[in-house]
Amino acid sequence: GAGVSQSPSNKVTEKGKDVELRCDPISGHTALYWYRQSLGQGLEFLIYFQGNSAPDKSGLPSDRFSAERTGGSVSTLTIQRTQQEDSAVYLCASSYGTSGYQETQYFGPGTRLLVL
């Protein structure tokens, strides 16, 4: 079956513009996660969805960042008024999300965002 997909693969934008990043999780996975990977760094947790709700938004760095998920499937991460420090690879992951403590997260290929 298909894995996690993300679009676009690469995005170049100008400072101050808004961007939308899309994630399509594995079919049947109810849990969805967004992470950010800055150059030379590990992955930083941003937000977690269970179904369409986001019980854990603790990793969002500022109110310029928001995310939604519709139909328990596709998720969109929106960054408003982008800044140069937002440049990073944004990774999405999904898991079954049913048993609560043992789910392996499967990752998409990421979107590389460059803010000029």
Contact residues: another protein, CB under 8 A: 31, 33, 35, 40-45, 48, 50, 55-56, 58, 89, 91, 93, 95, 97, 100-110, 112
Nearest to 6 by CA among 36, 41, 39: 36
Q: Which is nearer to another protein, 25 or 108 (CB)?
A: 108
Nearest to 59 by CA among 48, 73, 45: 45
3 state SS of 62: coil
Beta carbon of residue 81, minimum distance to another protein (angstroms, whole number): 26
Beta carbon of residue 41, minimum distance to another protein (angstroms, whole number): 6
Q: Which is nearer to another protein, 20 or 56 (CB)?
A: 56
CB-CB contact of 115 with 38 (8 Å)? no
